[in-house]
Chain A
Amino acid sequence: MANILSSLISAAGALDAFTQALDVTQNNVANAQTPGYADQTQLLTAMPFAPADGTTGGVRAAEVVSSRNQYAEQAVRQQNALLGQAQQNVTSFTSLQSLFDISGNSGIPYALNNLFTSFSAWGQTPTSTDARQNVIDSATDLANAFQQTATGMAQAAQNNGSQIDQTVVQINQLAGQLAGYNSQAMQDATPDAGLDAQINSTLEQLSQYVNFTASQQSDGSVTVLVNGQVPLVMGDKTYALQDQPVAADPTSPNPNAPPTMSILASDGADITSQVTSGQLGALVNLANNVFPQYLGTGNNAGDLNTMAKQFADRVNQLLTQGNISDGPPPVAGVALFTYDTTNSTNVAQTLAVDPTVTADQLAAISTGPPEVSNGVPLALSALADPQSSDDEINGASFTGFYGNMAAAIGSGLNGANDSLQVQQSALAQAQNLRQQVSGVSLDAEAAVLLQFQQAYEANSKLITVLDQLSEDTINMLTATS
C-alpha cells in the first residue's frame, strides 16, 4: 500500500514538474515577438531512487534558465552601434551633398563658370559698359553662391549640434530606464524573464546611439560602460553624459571660428574620443572633423573660406593693378569683392561685390610694360585655366579646388552608403549568430568552431583571389582602352 502511495506521490510530483515545463514553453511561445525576450528552459532534476529505502525517485522542477548569451548580445549591440553610425552618416552626407553641386548647373561652379565667361567676353570688348556690367552681375552671383553654400553649411553644422543635444538626451533617458530596471532586478529574489527582456530591449535601443559594453552583475543588474570604460549605468544609478560646444582658443589665429563639440562624462571628464560609433559617434565626427574642414577652426580658415578669400583677393589684385584709363593722369582700377577681413572663418558667408563699384570703375588696361588695353580681363579669364601658381590654390585651379571639396563630400556619402549596406548585413549576421549560439552545449560549440575554422580559411583565400583577379581585369581594361 505504501508503495502505491509513494508511486502516486512520485507521479504527482512529475506531473507538477511537467506542468511547470509546459508553462515555461507556453510563456516562450507567447513572448516570441517580445523585444529583447530570450527563451527560457525549465530544468528538471531526478529525485533519488532507492526502493529498498523507500525513496521512490521521480522528477522535480529545478530552476528556470535563460538561453540568453551575453557574448552574442554584445556582438549584436556592437554591430547595431556601427549601423546607427552608418545611418547617421548617410543622412548627414546626403544633406551636405545638396549644398555642393557637381553638375555645374547651380551653386558655386555654375556662378564661377559664368564669371569666367563674362571675363572672356569683356576681354573681347574691353571698353564695353555692358560687358563690364555683366562682370559685376556675374561676380555678384558668385558671391551669393558662396554665401548660400557657407550659410547652408553653417546651418547644417548648427543642426548637427542640435542633433547631438537630442541624442545625448535620448542616451540619458535610456540610461535612466536601465537604472530603473536594475533597481527592480536587484529587489527580485528570482530572475524575471519579462524584466530581462525589457533590459535587453533597452540595451539594443541604446546601442543605436552610442558604443558601450554591458555586463550582467550577480545581483541581476547590468553595468553599462561607454566604450567599455566610462560608467553610464551602474546598479540603480545613472551617470548622465553631457555635450558641450568648445569655442576656438582665444589666442588662436581664428578665435571666432565655429565651435567643435565635446562629450563629457558625469564627472566632467572629456570622453569625446571614447564615443566611436552609434549615432552620437557619427554626429561628433561630423562636428569635429567634417564641418571644420569647410568652415574652419581656430587654426584653419576652412576650405570654403580659403577658396572665397583667395579668389576674391586674386580678382581684386588684378583689377587694382590695372588702369581704367591711361590718362594722363592714369586712373587705377578698384577692388570688386569685399568680405569680413576680421575673421578668416567668415569670408565665404560675407563675400559680396562692393555696392559702390560701377561698371566704369573696372580696370581693363594692364600697365605692363607693354601696356595692353584688355590685359586685365585676359588675366582674369586665365583664372579658369591657370598658367601660374598665383592663379591656383594648393596647386589646383579654383574649379579644381571646388571639385575636390565636392568630391570629398561625395566620397563621404559613397563610403557611408557602402558602410550602411555592409552594416545591415553584419547586423543580420550577428543576429543569426546570436540565434545559433542560444543555449547550445560546449561540445556542440567546439564542433562548430572547428567547422568554421576550415570554412573561414577556404573563403578567405577565395576572396583574396577574387580581389586580385578583378583588380587585374580592371588594369587590363585600362591598358586596352
Chain B
Amino acid sequence: MPAADTAEHLSAARSEVKRACHLLEAASPASLEASSSALERAVSGIDDCRRGIRPGVADADVRAADVRTMLRQLRADLRRAGRLLESAADFYRGWERILGAMSGGYTAGGEPAAVARTGKLYCQG
C-alpha cells in the first residue's frame, strides 16, 4: 500500500477519535451514542491501515517512522477519549448513588439503594 494511503487511513481514524472526544466532551447520552459510531469508523480506519502493512516486509513506500508517529498521536487522542469516558462514567455513577439514596434510601450496609427502574416512559421534547 502506498504511504499516502496508509497515512490517509490513519489521519481519517484520528479525525474520528477526535470527533469522539468532542462528543464525549458534550457528555449527553445522545452524544455518547454518536461517539460510538465515530469510534467504530476509527476502528475501520486502522484496520484498513493494517492491511497495507505486511509483517516482516519492509515496504519502501511506507515511511514507518511517520506512520509510527501518527499512531502515537492517535493513541494519545485515544487516551484522552478514554479519560473523558471515565470521567463521564464517574459523574453518572455518583449521580446514580445520589438518585438511589433519594428514591430508595440506604441499604442495611449503608450503601445507597439501587435506582429503581420502574419501566416509566420518559419523553423529552
Contacts and interface: CB of A to CB of B under 8 A. Distances in A.
B107 interface: no
Interface in A424-474: 425-426, 428-430, 432-433, 436-437, 442-456, 458-460, 462-463, 465-467, 469-474
A75 B49 CA distance: 39
Contacts of A432: 25-28
Contacts of B96: 449
12 contacts: A418-B80, A436-B28, A442-B102, A459-B36, A466-B42, A469-B47, A470-B75, A471-B75, A474-B72, A477-B62, A480-B58, A481-B58
A421 interface: yes
A306 to B, nearest CB: 32
A49 interface: no
Interface of A: 71-72, 75, 79, 418, 421-422, 425-426, 428-430, 432-433, 436-437, 442-456, 458-460, 462-463, 465-467, 469-474, 476-481
Contact of B81 (A79, A433, A452, A463): A463
Contacts of A467: 75, 78, 82
Nearest to B74: A470
Given A425-B25, A466-B17, A473 B53 contact: yes
A426 B74 CA distance: 18
Given A470-B46, A474-B72, A479 B92 contact: no
User: Quick one: which of A422, A433, A450, A462 has the most chain B CB within 10 A?
Assistant: A462
Interface residues of B, number: 65
B29 A448 contact: yes
A433 B32 CA distance: 12
A422 B43 contact: no
A250 B80 CA distance: 46
Contacts of B42: 462, 466
A462 B40 contact: yes
A231 B115 CA distance: 33
B98 interface: yes
Which 8 pairs from chain A and chain B are nearest by CB? A451-B29, A455-B32, A462-B39, A481-B64, A447-B122, A458-B36, A477-B64, A469-B46
Contacts of B50: 469, 472-473, 476
Nearest to A75: B91
A72 B90 CA distance: 11
B99 interface: yes
Contact of B43 (A79, A433, A442, A466): A466
B16 to A, nearest CB: 9
Nearest to A458: B36
A32 B58 CA distance: 60
Interface residues of A, dominant DSSP: helix
A474 B40 CA distance: 20
A361 to B, nearest CB: 50
A447 B65 CA distance: 47
Interface string B7-45: 000000000010011001111111011011001101100
A448 B72 CA distance: 34
B108 interface: no
B75 A429 contact: no
Nearest to A455: B32
Contacts of B75: 467, 470-471
B79 A418 contact: yes
A428 B27 CA distance: 10
User: Quick one: which of A75, A446, A460 has the most chain B CB within 10 A?
Assistant: A446
Contact of B95 (A449, A455, A477, A481): A449
Nearest to A467: B78
Contacts of B54: 480
B83 A459 contact: no
Nearest to B54: A480
A471 B43 CA distance: 12
Given A421-B80, A480-B54, A429 B24 contact: yes
A446 B21 contact: no
B78 A429 contact: no
Contacts of A476: 50, 53, 55
A426 B103 contact: no
A480 B62 CA distance: 10
A446 B117 contact: yes
B116 to A, nearest CB: 8
Contacts of A477: 53, 62, 64, 67-68, 71
A331 B48 CA distance: 73
Given A426-B83, A429-B27, A459-B36, 6 more contacts: A72-B91, A456-B89, A463-B81, A463-B82, A469-B47, A476-B53
B99 to A, nearest CB: 6
Contacts of A458: 33, 36
Contacts of A462: 36, 39-40, 42-43
Given A451-B29, A480-B56, A444 B122 contact: yes
A136 to B, nearest CB: 42
B15 to A, nearest CB: 13
Nearest to A471: B75
